[in-house]
Amino acid sequence: MSLKLRPAALVAALGLMLASVAAPAQVVPKTIRLVVAYPSGGVSDVVARALADKLAAQLGSTLVVENKAGASGTIGMDAVAKAAPDGATLGFSAISPLVLNPHLGRSPFDPIKDIAPVASVMYSPVLLLATPATGMRDLRSLLDDARARPGAVRWATSGQASLGHIVLEQLRAAAQVDITHIPYKGGGQQLNDALGGQFEVLSTNAGPTVSAQIQTGRLRPLAVGAPARLETLPKVATLAELGYPAANLSSQFGVFAPAGTPAILIEKYNVEINKALASPDLRAKLLATDNVPTGGRADTFADEIASEYANNGKIVKAAGIRSD
């Protein structure tokens, strides 16, 4: 039996054949490496592994989690930036290696040209906590004390040029107070010293250990940096509500790919990440640690990163912030 095509149909059929040769369908790799820019065992690592499990089931692929910690996330994101753009490598990180570290001379890659945002995953609030060194129970009282005793109030962060330091500089400028910055290298010793009353204020990301100390009353929340109040701390106002919108910052985390990764794969991963974030068990895991699931379009995430990059450049310059 022969099949005869009219000239117009023949042209159309040939066009489809040529199109399929010129633009072959992109196939999701059977094995995908998810680079986590932080050490194993932390909240971000736990979330990344839970997300990887969801994506593996949804995509029918094997996701291998690889922790590449160091330099405030820059080492992990550098590995993503230098990977082949074939969809086989993704990264999980806060956006700070893209929007803050480059302004401090910490980036070996171009955050705009070398990284492709895939999807926002969550934001981690910044908590402002009073320690046993002070009896203050609200931010206004603490700022009044700082005005009355310039330099006497000590504020600890996880490090010079960390997000907590940026929050401090914004608040210090807006409230016109003299507060002494106590930078630590990481959060473990910082928390121990906070409980020992070595300083008056601690700014830190939310997490199970911090939440437990808030529940016991040893650390008292004064304010939160977040888009909205936390479900677990409904009586604690955001810095924006208290009149300090520029200081109302939080850590946003997401999934990234090497620049040049095919757009069809970026879109596929974005859809699947949004699907995973909508699942009740993953949402519950995030909310239990005061981390709030986000999601959304890849291009919206890219716009947010570009805006944050520009804003942080202004903050770093105005405050004269330098890296260690």
Task: Show contacts of 188-197: CB within 8 Å, 24+ apart.
Answer: 190/156, 190/157, 190/158, 193/156, 194/129, 194/131, 194/156, 194/219, 195/131, 195/132, 195/219, 196/132, 197/131, 197/132, 197/133
Q: Share the mean pLDDT of the chain.
A: 89
For helices 163-175 and 298-319, angle between their N-to-C axes, nearest 10 degrees: 60
Most confident of 283-287, 302-306, 317-321: 302-306
Strands (E), the chain: 31-36, 62-67, 89-94, 115-130, 154-157, 180-183, 201-205, 220-225, 250-258, 292-293
From 4-8, 168-172, 238-242, the region with the lowest mean pLDDT: 4-8
Rounded to the nearest 5 percent, the helix, strand and coil shares of the chain are 45, 20, 35
Side-chain-side CA neighbours of 78 within 13 Å: the count stands at 14
Inter-residue contact 109 to 82 (CB < 8 Å): yes
Which has more confidence, 11 or 252? 252
Whether the per-residue pLDDT at 11 is higher than 70: the answer is: no
Average pLDDT over residues 4-23: 45
Q: In angstroms, how far is CA 84 from the centroid of its own chain?
A: 23
Cα of first residue to Cα of last residue in the chain, in angstroms, is 78
Q: What is the pLDDT of residue 104?
A: 87
Q: What is the pLDDT of residue 88?
A: 98
Inter-residue contact 81 to 109 (CB < 8 Å): yes
Q: What is the pLDDT of residue 206?
A: 83
Predicted TM-score (pTM) of this structure: 0.83
For a pLDDT cut of 70, what percent of the chain falls above it? 91
Confidence of residue 36 (pLDDT cuts 50, 70, 90): very high
Give the whole-angstrom CA distance, residue 225 versus residue 240.
8
Give the whole-angstrom CA distance, residue 31 versus residue 138.
50
For helices 43-59 and 280-288, angle between their N-to-C axes, nearest 10 degrees: 170
The dihedrals phi and psi of 63, each to the nearest 5 degrees, come to -105, 120
Give the whole-angstrom CA distance, residue 60 versus residue 35.
19
Whether the per-residue pLDDT at 249 is higher than 50: the answer is: yes
